[in-house]
Homo-oligomer: A and B are copies of this chain.
């Protein structure tokens, strides 16, 4: 087992209190990107980060966007042939409300039961900060890094990162790199370092069914006029077969199965299905047969109803035959499904099953591509060694059922592999009151990332 270089380890031990103090100072700045009354605080957080990166030896620039600025810091003194790594994080945070549900104040970081509580502690200031600390450890002990490093910290992640893709595109030459490293996710469980290897994509639709030109009396017209609500229910029911597989013709055609060893690893994760069901208060789970729950969530595509509306939905009875009905339906996608192809397949299917007597439109509302890491490259080997060094066990491979659009942006625009290595934990309350990061994870995270720079040096590859 690789160990973290002892000088780096010693420096991190020695400076532990100061690194905590600095993080706490960073967390005290209420950089709520969603609220215009916090614009100055967002700018202050950018300035604070800028100052620190400059002090530890990075050439730093705060670059305005149409929204909040990007802090871009570079250190390019690595030996010839060394790779360039881009570290991405964000210095903005979610609004802290409802304030009354916080045990200690959202912007007064507090250590309690081995956790650091504050808005942004895990999402993402704390995880961004452990990268900065690892960089400082290298520069302070050796005066150099084994790889070239670009730090890109944005201030709009919590409001949709609208200006990030254009920024990357505009600075594509300057941001050219061999790997992107992001710590903005969680580990599978305490003590189990995790590499997040896949994200599902999205194809979101609205289906509108139009029947008669107005709501009708269900007594006077019922039984002869095609009911748009019934028609919509039958359309939705046709999306799955009796077993729970998506029944839209062609839906699975471009699905590239996950490697057997990745699936096997997921099945071996300590996942308690009974606890999962108890947490949700359901007596049974569903979905596609032949896959474990985690495989269903991480590796398989879905077709879910997100909303449904027709006719009278108030209290009591109204005898109306609705004139229209509407559903929001979205598919979670896995590689190599394409949102536009899925739109075509869904629309064709809906048209083929819709009864005569109603008109149906399918409107695409939102789409995003799925992403999956190629886990075979040197980046992942290095990460595995670094995490093993810091946590005393090899990392597991996890997936994520949702989407993180910036990951696709980096992969696509910079054509570099992306490593998602997070140090949060389940229940961390990101976006909720009492957000926290484990102090132990914070410390091990700094060590893991410090080790990662060494593991990425050409001599180790």
Interface residues of A, Cβ cutoff 8 Å to B:
200, 202, 204, 211-213, 216-227, 229-230, 232-234, 236-240, 280-288, 293, 296-297, 300-302, 304-313, 316-322, 325-328, 330, 332, 355-359, 365-366, 400-403
Contact = CB atoms under 8 A, between A and B. Distances in A.
Given A221-B297, A319-B202, A213 B280 contact: yes
B230 A236 contact: yes
B304 A227 contact: yes
Nearest to A237: B237
A227 B306 CA distance: 9
Contacts of A211: 282
6 contacts: A223-B287, A223-B300, A284-B356, A312-B328, A317-B328, A318-B328
Nearest to A301: B223
A223 B297 contact: yes
A365 B313 CA distance: 13
Contact of A226 (B213, B285, B293, B402): B285
A218 B330 contact: yes
A325 B305 CA distance: 11
Contacts of A304: 218, 222-223, 227, 230, 321
B221 A305 contact: no
Contacts of A313: 307-309, 326, 328
Given A204-B319, A402-B219, A308 B229 contact: yes
A232 B229 contact: no
Contacts of A283: 356-357, 359
Contacts of A237: 230, 233-234, 236-238
A212 B401 CA distance: 17
Given A283-B356, A317-B366, A330-B319, A223 B401 contact: yes
B307 A318 contact: yes
B310 A225 contact: no
A283 B222 CA distance: 16
Nearest to A280: B212
A357 B224 contact: no
Contact of A223 (B213, B223, B225, B302): B302
- Closest 9 A-B residue pairs measured CB to CB? A219-B402, A237-B237, A233-B236, A284-B356, A229-B305, A307-B311, A226-B286, A223-B302, A213-B281
